[in-house]
């Protein structure tokens, strides 16, 4: 009930509440509590104030303070990231960080669950500082989704297996990861629809035995022989992987066990907001009927992406083995980021929202001094933090 009491208090004594509020939060207070006075009037006032501004933007919250608290690093006065490099050097061997500034090419939106707000679709904000943000978990989910395209684009089974292993090292393995594996395998089956089914059955058994290291018994062979189409085989494979995963958990390689991923994703905070309106049209009248307001981070706004990779599970691996994994994972992450930049992050990506451009002069990789920057990132303009 406390939140309703606050609304009543604002309605009766808004002047006193404004007097006690920090300047950086006053615009948020007006949007949050203006609801109880006269929503239509307050919304029109808000839209009018945005229209009167040259850049059609407004600000909320304290961006700099929350970035410091969240451990997000920024360039120093010499445009170096020496502070992030120093931080990475204190982490376990072969840890690295990917850091870049990006500029939104289209609005970004992710809905907040705020029940009372003057706009029906408020953007997600940090709880205490009320700054628009992309959560670290949202970056992780979006990048994992982009990474799956790399798996599907692999031209051989061996390359696909390596990409899946890299995926599981970076993002971890939960039930969602195993679903990803299933999805990939099903897609692989679909690609071969025009091939001879009998030939494919043989290839399937080879894949189960040699690539996945799973057991083949008489029952499986009979089931494969009785399969009438590719879908039946796909289902058999999914069941087989699940059986192995559940019953022989301790014998699976680490990549296929449920475990935490090596990558830590940091949130991104923005300092500008604006409004977008989607106006669904009546098909018969061909005219807009109920415009829907969205509070968005506008195109052109800049933000910081930061990821730190810690190979905490590599203690029993040889230096050479670990170094090879780091090189592959780093190269794959850079490729996946490129895919993500074109696909977009947040909601409404089908409308093109959330797409961004990685700023060429502001993309850095902080890594162990004993590791060379892989060729792929190097050729695409990525620089070491030390350079």
Whether 76 and 20 map to the same domain: the answer is no
Whether 93 and 146 map to the same domain: the answer is yes
Distance between CA atoms of residues 281 and 212, nearest Å: 51
Whether 23 and 126 map to the same domain: the answer is no
- Ramachandran area for residue 71 (φ above 0: left; ψ -120 to 50: alpha; else beta): left
Whether 82 and 133 map to the same domain: the answer is yes
Q: Is residue 157 part of a domain?
A: no
Could you tell me the residue range of the domain that residue 48 belongs to?
4-52
Confidence (pTM): 0.75
Q: Is residue 164 part of a domain?
A: no
Low-confidence ranges of the chain (pLDDT < 70): 1-4, 6, 35, 157, 173-197, 199-200, 202-216, 230-231, 234, 237-259, 386-387
Whether 143 and 279 map to the same domain: the answer is yes
Q: Is residue 168 part of a domain?
A: no
Contact 43, 295 (CB under 8 A): no
Give the other-Cβ count within 10 Å of 218's Cβ. 7
- In this prediction, residue 208 carries a pLDDT of 66
- Boundary of a domain, candidates 218, 249, 280: 249
The model's pLDDT over 19-56, given as tens digits with 9 standing for 90+, comes to: 877 777 777 777 777 767 777 787 888 888 888 877 77
Long-range CB pairs of 200-203 (<8 Å, 24+ gap) are: 200/230, 200/233, 201/225, 201/227, 201/233
Closest among 377, 385, 312, 336 to 95, alpha carbons compared: 312
Whether 228 and 322 map to the same domain: the answer is no
- The sign one gets for the Cα dihedral 47, 53, 56, 61 is negative
The model's pLDDT over 55-75, given as tens digits with 9 standing for 90+, comes to: 777 777 777 888 888 999 988
- In this prediction, residue 249 carries a pLDDT of 45
Taken as a whole, the chain contains a residue count of: 387
- In this prediction, residue 365 carries a pLDDT of 93
Whether 119 and 216 map to the same domain: the answer is no
- In this prediction, residue 192 carries a pLDDT of 52
Q: Is residue 256 part of a domain?
A: no
Domain count, the chain: 3
Whether 284 and 136 map to the same domain: the answer is yes
The position carrying tokens 């990803």 is 180
Whether 266 and 377 map to the same domain: the answer is yes
Q: Is residue 167 part of a domain?
A: no
Which residues contact residue 77 at a Cβ distance below 8 angstroms, ignoring those fewer than 6 apart? none
- In this prediction, residue 186 carries a pLDDT of 55
């Amino acid at each position: 009930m406390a939140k309703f009491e606050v609304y009543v208090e604002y309605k009766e004594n808004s002047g006193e509440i404004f007097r006690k509020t920090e300047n950086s939060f006053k615009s948020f207070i007006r949007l949050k509590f203006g609801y109880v006075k006269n929503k239509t009037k307050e919304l029109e006032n808000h839209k009018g104030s945005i229209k009167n501004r040259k850049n059609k933007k407004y600000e909320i919250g304290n961006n700099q303070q929350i970035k410091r608290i969240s451990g997000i690093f920024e360039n120093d006065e010499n445009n170096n990231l020496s502070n992030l490099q120093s931080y990475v050097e204190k982490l376990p061997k072969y840890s690295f960080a990917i850091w870049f500034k990006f500029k939104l090419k289209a609005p970004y939106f992710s809905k907040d669950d705020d029940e009372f707000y003057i706009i029906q679709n408020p953007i997600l904000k940090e709880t205490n500082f009320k700054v628009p943000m992309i959560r670290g978990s949202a970056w992780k989910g979006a990048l994992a989704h982009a990474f799956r395209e790399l798996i599907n684009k692999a031209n051989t089974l061996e390359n696909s297996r390596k990409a899946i292993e890299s995926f599981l090292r970076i993002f971890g393995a939960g039930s969602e990861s195993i679903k990803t594996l299933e999805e990939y395998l099903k897609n692989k089956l679909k690609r071969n629809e025009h091939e001879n089914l009998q030939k494919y059955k043989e290839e399937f058994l080879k894949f189960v035995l040699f690539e996945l290291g799973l057991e083949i018994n008489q029952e499986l062979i009979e089931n494969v022989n009785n399969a009438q189409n590719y879908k039946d085989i796909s289902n058999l494979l999914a069941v087989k992987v699940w059986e192995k995963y559940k019953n022989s958990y301790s014998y699976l390689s680490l990549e296929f066990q449920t475990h935490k991923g090596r990558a830590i994703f940091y949130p991104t905070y923005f300092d500008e907001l604006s409004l977008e309106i989607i106006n669904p049209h009546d098909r018969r009248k061909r005219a807009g009927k109920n415009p829907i307001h969205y509070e968005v981070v506008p195109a052109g706004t800049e933000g910081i992406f930061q990821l730190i990779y810690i190979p905490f599970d590599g203690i029993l691996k040889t230096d050479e083995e670990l170094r090879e994994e780091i090189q592959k994972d780093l190269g794959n992450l850079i490729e996946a980021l490129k895919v993500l930049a074109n696909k977009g992050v947040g909601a409404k990506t089908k409308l093109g929202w959330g797409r961004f451009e990685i700023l060429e002069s502001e993309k850095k990789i902080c890594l162990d001094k004993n590791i060379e920057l892989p060729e792929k990132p190097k050729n695409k303009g990525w620089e070491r933090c030390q350079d």
